[in-house]
Amino acid sequence: METTSFLPLLIIFSSLLPGTLILMLREDQSALRTFLNLFGAVAKVGLIAWVFAGYLRGEEYGFILPLAPDLAFVLRVDQLGLFFASLSSVLWLVTTLYAIGYLEGGKHRRRFFAFFSFCVTAATGIALSGNVITFFIFYEFLTLSTYPLVVHSGTDKAVNAGRTYLWYTIGGGTILFLGVVALFVVAGPISFGQTEVIASLASVNPTQLTIIFFLMLTGLAVKAAIFPLHGWLPISMVAPAPVSALLHAVAVVKAGAFGIIRLVYDVYGIEVAEQLNLLTPLAVFAAFTIIYGSVRALFQDDFKKRLAFSTVSQLSYISLGVAITGVLSSAGAIVHLVHQGIMKITMFFAAGNVAETYGYKKISELDGIGRRMPLTMGVFTIAVFGMIGLPPVAGFISKWYLGLGAVEAGSYWVVLVLLGSSALNAAYFLPIVYRAWFCEPEHEAAPLRQIGRLETQALLLIPVIVTGILSLAAGVFAAMAGSPLSIAREIAEKLYLL
């Protein structure tokens, strides 16, 4: 086993501690709160970069805390985990900046930022979990820490959305729990990457393993918003924009998708999954969700709701990529974790900017908004092209690899799904772009906020530009070493060498 290191624990604490401290502050100590927030966010990015560098040098980091006989809390660093941790820490930093601007002068900011930090603690915890049980602990922690964020505004609508959110996630968590215990009883404690344990059992009790796989998959599919378990996602759109951004791009949905990746690649292993024929149902459901989400998105006039259904659709690309065996589709699935994250967060920031600056929440109100908010809508347009899959934006890379993978595996129907989805993406996103740039506004509304010389507040504008540039850069520089794609390819190639 690797040497014990407190670095992974430190990464967790870099947001857990600021969160706890913020909870103890008074509501009016906003300077100190902002400092703690940013300090934690920067420290987390720095620590993850440090660990990543160490990992590439060949060092191993692990932290083990035994909880009960055979039951240990394990944090371990591997490439896939670091990949996800980097994504969440960078996007957390950006979102923190955005949230500070967004919530300026709002109520209950202490509670908001504390649970915001807990939420990211859970996301990085999920990334660095070394075994199934640790993953489960953080997975449930994520549910609990996002609840106060969803109901943050305290309106009846928000509170009801919170209830729906909990029904789905606690229900999913319970099913996952059943699967986790059953797996523990059948196979003992399993660390991620120890696929040989299941492989040795696959011929002994295939039925049990199949049932356990689908129990766990169902639990994870709730957060990954796979049809028919996606219902919470569009409803929890009542949350403030930074929360939606975080839920959709970084934390909750990605926890589900990441969990599915772990389950298939690092617990069961691709060979066993194929041998027991576990992946076909996943592929079918994921493909259906892709089309279904896009079709539903077509009919939404609420800006954030349309984005939400788009998330339902886009997220299943990851599950679909996992369900098709082959290096290329695996790389496509893994890289889409990041690509979908940066593109979707850009879109939510943009939607939040429009809503905060001019109060427009409906797509039909967006006529001519591009001229008044050129930068915001400019990066939004980039993200739209990415979602549709136009080169050279990040989304193109994901779709290209998924398509190649499907052809390689002989699943030509997947290519059709991808093409159909692209057409639908264009059908529901391009009207927004068209309205923003080419339609004349009916009347010029005055901005709701003091915006100064910029098109909106700097703290709202900078994050969206940063993530917009990232989504372009991830596509343009995809071939370079250190790009998300190159890392995803490395991970995928390692998977198939084993």
Partner 1 sequence: MTDLPTSPFPALLVGLPFLLATLSLFFSSKGKAVVGLIGSFLTALLAIVAFVEVTQQGTVIHILGGWEPPLGILLRMDSLAAVFIGMTALVGVFISLYARGYFRAQEDSSEGFPLFWPLWLFLWAGLNGLFLSNDLFNLFVTIEVIGICAVALAVLSGKKAALFAGLRYLLAAITGSMAYLFGVALIYGSTGTLDLALLGQVLEPGPTTTFALLVITPGLMIKMAGFPFHFWLPPAHSSAPAPVSALLSALVVKGAFYILLRLWTEVFGVSLTFAAGQLIGVAGAVAVIWGSWQAFMQTSLKLIVAHSSVAQLGYLLLVFPLLVLAPGVTADSADWLSPAWTAGVYQVIAHAFAKASFFLSAGIIIMAMGHDRIESFRDLAARMPMTVMAIGLAGVSLIGLPPSGGFMAKWNLLQGIFLSGQWWWAPAVLGGSLLTASYVFMLMRLAFAPARKKEPLRPVPFRLQVFALLLALGSFLIILPAESLIQFLESSQIFGSGIESIVEGGVYGND
8 A C-beta contact, residue 367 and residue 439:
yes
| Of residues 144 and 199, the one with the C-beta less far from partner 1 | 144
Decide whether 139 or 428 has the Cβ nearer to partner 1.
139
* Cβ-based nearer residue to partner 1, 157 or 371: 157
Q: What whole-number distance in Å separates Cα of residue 110 and Cα of residue 115?
A: 9
Least distance to partner 1, CB of residue 68, Å: 5
Q: At what angle do helices 79-102 and 30-56 cross, to 10 degrees?
A: 160
Given the complex with partner 1, which of 69 and 452 has the nearer CB atom? 69
DSSP assignment of 427-492? HHHHHHHHHHHHSPPSS-PPPSS--TTSSS-HHHHHHHHHHHHHHHHHHHTTTSTTSHHHHHHHHH
CB of 352 to partner 1, least distance (A): 21
CB of 148 to partner 1, least distance (A): 7
Helices (H), 326-393: 327-358, 369-372, 374-388
Q: Containing H/E element for 265? A: none
- Distance, in Å, from the CA atom of 490 to the CA atom of 498, rounded to the nearest integer, reads 13
CB contact set of 91 (below 8 Å; sequence gap of 6+)? 246, 249, 250, 341, 342, 345, 467
Closer residue to partner 1, CB minimum distance, 190 or 397: 190
Kindly tell me which of 178 and 407 has the beta carbon lying closer to partner 1.
Answer: 178
Neighbours of 30 (CB within 10 A): 17
Gap between the Cα atoms of 180 and 135, Å rounded? 10
Nearest approach, Cβ of 236 to partner 1 (angstroms)? Answer: 14
Q: Choose among 20, 170, 121, 83: nearest CA to 485.
A: 83
Three-class SS of 192-204 = CCCHHHHHHHCCC
Q: Judged by CB, which is closer to partner 1: 135, or 292?
A: 135
Minimum CB separation of residue 170 from partner 1 in Å reads 5
The span from the CA of 51 to the CA of 55, in Å, is: 6
Name the residue nearer to partner 1 (CB basis): 182 or 462: 182
Q: How far is the CB of 136 from partner 1 (least distance, A)?
A: 6
Sign of CA dihedral 482, 484, 486, 488: positive
Tell me the closest approach of the beta carbon of residue 36 to partner 1, in angstroms. 18
- Looking up tokens 């009542």, which residue turns up? 238
CA distance 69 to 82: 28
Nearer residue to partner 1 within complex by CB, 106 or 482? 106
Least distance (Å) between residue 51 CB and partner 1: 23
Least Å distance between CB 243 and partner 1?
Answer: 14
List interacting residues with partner 1 (CB under 8 A).
23, 66-69, 71, 73, 107-108, 111, 133, 136-137, 140-141, 143-144, 147-148, 151, 154-156, 158-159, 162-163, 166, 170-171, 173-174, 177-178, 181-182, 184-185
* HSE-up (13 A, CA, CB side) for residue 190: 30
4 three-state secondary structure: strand
CB of 46 to partner 1, least distance (A): 27
Q: Whose Cβ is closer to partner 1: residue 9's or residue 404's?
A: 9
| CB-nearer residue toward partner 1: 137 or 433 | 137
The two counts, helices (H) then strands (E), for the chain are: 21, 2
C-alpha angle 259/264/270, rounded to 5°? Answer: 160
Nearest distance in Å: CB 382, partner 1? 37
Instruction: For the CB of residue 313, give the shortest distance to partner 1 in the complex, in Å.
Output: 29
If the CB atoms of residues 185 and 298 are measured against partner 1, the closer one turns out to be 185
Q: What are phi and psi of 75, to 5 degrees?
A: -110, 130
